[in-house]
Amino acid sequence: MIYFDNSATTQPHPEVLQSYQQAATRYFANPSSVHQLGLEAEKLMEKTRESISDRLDVLPEEVVYTSGGTEANNIAVKGTAFQYRNRGKHLITTKVEHPSVMEAFKALEQMGFEVTYVKVDHTGRVNPEEIKKVIRKDTILISVMSVNNEIGTVQPIEEIGEIASHYPKLLFHVDHVQGVAKIPFSIRDFKVDLCTMSGHKIHGLKGTGLLYVRKGIRLFPLFHGGGHEGNLRSGTENLPGMVAFAKALRLVQEEKKDSHHHLMGIRNYLRKELSHFVKVNSPENGSPHILNISIPGLKPEVVVHALAERDIYISTKSACSSKEPDVSTVLAACGLDPEITTSALRISLSYRNSMGEAEVFIKQLEEVIRYLKR
């Protein structure tokens, strides 16, 4: 099997599964319980939080556990809007964000908030100066993803963070789900106020993730109940999931140190070979793990199924919108022609992929295209 759909989800690392099972077996008590088993579970939960915060170079109390990227993005966007609506109701994002961000903003528009969707260039990159131009006195939030989930464009987060830092009442949120351990990134140095991460994109487990919330920021909670996670995310904590996330984060950061050049080599090889017979949409200086291509004249899902019959797995676009109409909203926002936006495919790698897999993939894709065009 050749699995090139890692931006949709990754295969859990065996050590992550082992950590989850051990935590679920031994520390099954509710961390909120006051008996000895509950206290032991709470102690492990906070130890895990400290481990994650050390790796992210943030404070433990700034780490809020969530069920994944979608929930974290919704807490960040809606929580900011509801909490600070008395400051203003103007929000800023781009036209190429993940559906969990885009749909959250659309929902807020229905509730009386005003959203400015900043355009991107033909590579999917937003110009920080364009964001600066649309900031107003009543702007309370800017939300920009670090790495585009469809084409791998790396956004100028550091420059945007610097701009946002000059507006004390304005918060800056980054959806970093696709960027973790793939690109250089510093929450502190980039002056990020809110940051989203997801476990199952880094060989962790589905249903795990976090939202970094800078100390001093208050957000309106979407879940009300027992006041867990600093009153921001009520609900019994998924302790085994937290342990699994911490292990996945450690492993992927170590893999980045050892295998980043290897991953870049695979991406560059694929880009070079693919450019001979398909349209490559991803920018050359994009993230090392995502390549978006188009094969005009062929339906993307037909190509996906044909490759799957050969035990090779890629995707059409974002897994969260892959069952929607063929048009890629990201490619459309880049100003590409309909024949390109309706025939897009995404190849997404992980540090566990090999050059041998890439070579086999190129040969098999060429054969599939020849077969389908006949």
d(C-alpha 127, C-alpha 121), whole Å = 8
Known catalytic residue at 320: yes
Amino acid identity of residue 107, one-letter, is A
Cα distances from 129 to residues 25, 114, 140, 159, 260, in angstroms, run 52, 20, 18, 9, 31
HEC string of 267-322?
Answer: HHHHHHHHCCCCEECCCCCCCCCEEEEECCCCCHHHHHHHHHCCCEECECCCCCCC
How does DSSP assign 13-38, residue by residue?
A: PHHHHHHHHHHHHH--S-TT--SHHH
Active-site pick, 222, 298, 320, 362: 320
Question: Which tokens belong to 289?
Answer: 């793990």
20 phi and psi angles, rounded to 5 deg: -60, -50
CA angle in degrees (0–180, nearest 5) for 37-42-46: 150
Q: What would the two tokens of residue 12 be?
A: 């859990």
Q: What is the dihedral of CA 254, 192, 126, 325, to 10 degrees?
A: 70
Rounded to the nearest 5°, which phi and psi values hold at 326?
Answer: -60, -30
Task: Tell me how far apart the terminal alpha carbons of the chain are, to the nearest angstrom.
Answer: 26
Spatial distance between the Cα atoms of 284 and 153, rounded to a whole number of angstroms: 9
- For tokens 């830092």, the residue is 165
Just list the catalytic residues. Answer: 320
